Structure 1
């Protein structure tokens, strides 16, 4: 094991705030053009999350699965459930309370259909069973990742990923990304963010699997961190350069560039003087799950209570919301997420524990 990858933790935190900006952008017409262009593409941070999650889950869990085989699967799944569900359940409960308030006051409840609520409770809402994003919209990606967790043991135990050579792992990533491109292209999509209820699940499964392959690729290497980081950043420049110049579809150029960026950040974690190792950045990563899961409903409530014109939220008001979101993220992380994970972790029978704790503080 190569230690804690704090660069990846920090990058996750920064990406979470890009998603926040994406959902706020319609109310911030005063943003400078470059900032608005970045905000318009904020949904791509979720693709970065999927790749990063696959990388981190493979790094933290593949060893126990290889050592203990299928017997480690229940422990792995329980730990993943304990990691994500306490905060997920609290945010869903808050959303239910909000929807009930809308109903009791005679307001429109179109975005909160009670008939779909059981799917959200079971984290199955984005398994191709619905046609629209409903309730707490960002939770669609948690549903998709839950499916990826269920399939991850099969990837480790019943594919050659654990013993494949680097060229074969690279070929596997290329094939997976090509399949995603072809499926979405056939479905009439030109961006990764299109028709999430229909394509979000495959988007997650492919990118999560590519992240796992990328981690296996990284673990096979004995390269110079500096040289490998430079080569990886060259890949970022190549793929994202093709994308920005309109010479390559976002569907494959963005994940390819994001994979190169994650590889560069993994190598950069070996440097003692790395700005991404600054404690505030790392902490943003540690609370990023709370930020991501809470911001959407908090923004809706904030606009109802504090904003007269939802189409134009002033700079001071927007800054106030961001501060409130940060404070809420800290409270949810420290008061719900961590205690919930610890409580469920203690409930796991001691003889079932296989030592799959992650060295990287990520969801």
Structure 2
């Protein structure tokens, strides 16, 4: 492939790393139940699993900039509703389904006379996907959906960013400075909120993580496009980001982690078109395709799993953990093929018909 060739719309390695990240989040949520028999080093590693969400935000910014930035600029304001409609079709149906499961479970608990931790007053915010815009004080219903709320905010602002600026016009060194500045801005926002880690006070600070890291992802895409165009300085930029992260490998995490994740994502993108890339393999790629289902189903499923199979100690044996992982994989496959993808196609077709445009048969995988 020549340097001048058009970039692919889908980098399989990015889809693959999204699948790995989703399972990293899952293991973060179950680690304490398995802490009795997991090695301390493994438990300590899994305790950082929340950082996979920060990688999700950057991945989303990268993929959307690659696929939609130029399209939005060419289409003008008329393209904005179509873009938002497709984003809603991508994230809302499965979110609504999982929210429905959580509501049914809460109603069952009420019928049995048991306490319910969920806040009914916040339910409309969850339905509208704005529940993690600083309006609430705690996570509830399906806890991982907080990041989907942040993603939705980024989607609403993305067309404005694409219309306002074209990162391709910036030299690599300027893009690097902007990445560093945004990481510094996130660190400042988290510090003002009293945070020492990126998972601190998610209901109030999570929105800053989502928006700033999404923007970093768009910059990383521009750096990658420079690299593909023959400006190999992007390689040295990735190394510089990694070195900066290593130099600052002691606290604060709120500054180090975004820079390290940015370096990781850029390195994965640069190597994405290499032959025999393990992240692009069929199995890993498939985990990436179903990762949204994995991400939204695993938390509620583990809650139900503990009620059915785990005693009051909360400890999960290796055999029970294996069973839960298999159930999560099976549920992810069923939800992806039976709900997530069909609902996305159906909504896109409805939106296309209302816009009097031909229905698109291609569904974006991001």
TM range (shorter): over 0.9
Hey, what does 1:135 align to over in structure 2?
A: 141
Q: Over the residues paired in the alignment, what is the CA RMSD in angstroms?
A: 2.2
- Mark the CA change 1:235 to 1:294 in structure 2 (over 3 Å): closer, same or farther: farther
- Mark the CA change 1:329 to 1:243 in structure 2 (over 3 Å): closer, same or farther: farther
Unaligned runs of 5+ in 2: 1-5
Cα distance in 1, alignment partners of residues 319 and 184 from structure 2? 44
Cα distance in 1, alignment partners of residues 246 and 363 from structure 2? 33
Moved over 4 A (4+): 223-229, 350-360
Hey, what does 1:204 align to over in structure 2?
A: 210
Hey, what does 1:38 align to over in structure 2?
A: 45
Hey, what does 2:15 align to over in structure 1?
A: 9
Q: Determine if the alignment matches structure 1 residue 307 to structure 2 residue 310.
A: yes
The answer to whether the 8 A contact 1:22-1:40 is kept is yes
The answer to whether the 8 A contact 1:5-1:269 is kept is yes
Hey, what does 1:96 align to over in structure 2?
A: 103
Cα distance in 1, alignment partners of residues 358 and 168 from structure 2? 18
SS at match of 1:144: helix
The answer to whether the 8 A contact 1:60-1:357 is kept is no
Please state how far the C-alpha of 1:143 moved relative to its aligned partner.
0.5
Question: Which among 65, 74, 99 is matched to residue 67 of structure 1?
Answer: 74
The answer to whether the 8 A contact 2:168-2:225 is kept is no
Cα distance in 2, alignment partners of residues 289 and 225 from structure 1? 34
Question: Which among 258, 261, 279 is matched to residue 258 of structure 1?
Answer: 261
Please state how far the C-alpha of 1:356 moved relative to its aligned partner.
9.4
Question: Which among 320, 325, 329 is matched to residue 326 of structure 1?
Answer: 329
Hey, what does 1:361 align to over in structure 2?
A: 365
- Mark the CA change 1:330 to 1:225 in structure 2 (over 3 Å): closer, same or farther: farther
Please state how far the C-alpha of 1:237 moved relative to its aligned partner.
4.5
Cα distance in 1, alignment partners of residues 327 and 74 from structure 2? 45
1:154-178 residue CA offsets vs partner (Å, 9 max, x unmatched): 1110234353332222222222111
Cα distance in 2, alignment partners of residues 180 and 354 from structure 1? 41
Hey, what does 1:213 align to over in structure 2?
A: 219
Cα distance in 1, alignment partners of residues 186 and 289 from structure 2? 30
- Mark the CA change 1:356 to 1:340 in structure 2 (over 3 Å): closer, same or farther: closer
Question: Which among 269, 273, 278 is matched to residue 270 of structure 1?
Answer: 273
Unaligned runs of 5+ in 1: none
The answer to whether the 8 A contact 1:64-1:355 is kept is no
Hey, what does 1:22 align to over in structure 2?
A: 28
The answer to whether the 8 A contact 1:236-1:261 is kept is no
Hey, what does 2:3 align to over in structure 1?
A: none
Cα distance in 2, alignment partners of residues 232 and 335 from structure 1? 42
Hey, what does 2:173 align to over in structure 1?
A: 167
TM-score by length of 1: 0.93
The answer to whether the 8 A contact 1:62-1:156 is kept is yes
Please state how far the C-alpha of 1:75 moved relative to its aligned partner.
0.5
Hey, what does 1:186 align to over in structure 2?
A: 192
- Mark the CA change 1:358 to 1:217 in structure 2 (over 3 Å): closer, same or farther: farther
Please state how far the C-alpha of 1:66 moved relative to its aligned partner.
1.3
Higher relative contact order (CA 8 A, sep 6+): 1
Aligned residues: 358
Q: Determine if the alignment matches structure 1 residue 76 to structure 2 residue 83.
A: yes
SS at match of 2:223: helix
1:244-283 residue CA offsets vs partner (Å, 9 max, x unmatched): 4x1x421121111111111111111111111112100000
- Mark the CA change 1:189 to 1:354 in structure 2 (over 3 Å): closer, same or farther: farther
Cα distance in 1, alignment partners of residues 130 and 18 from structure 2? 24
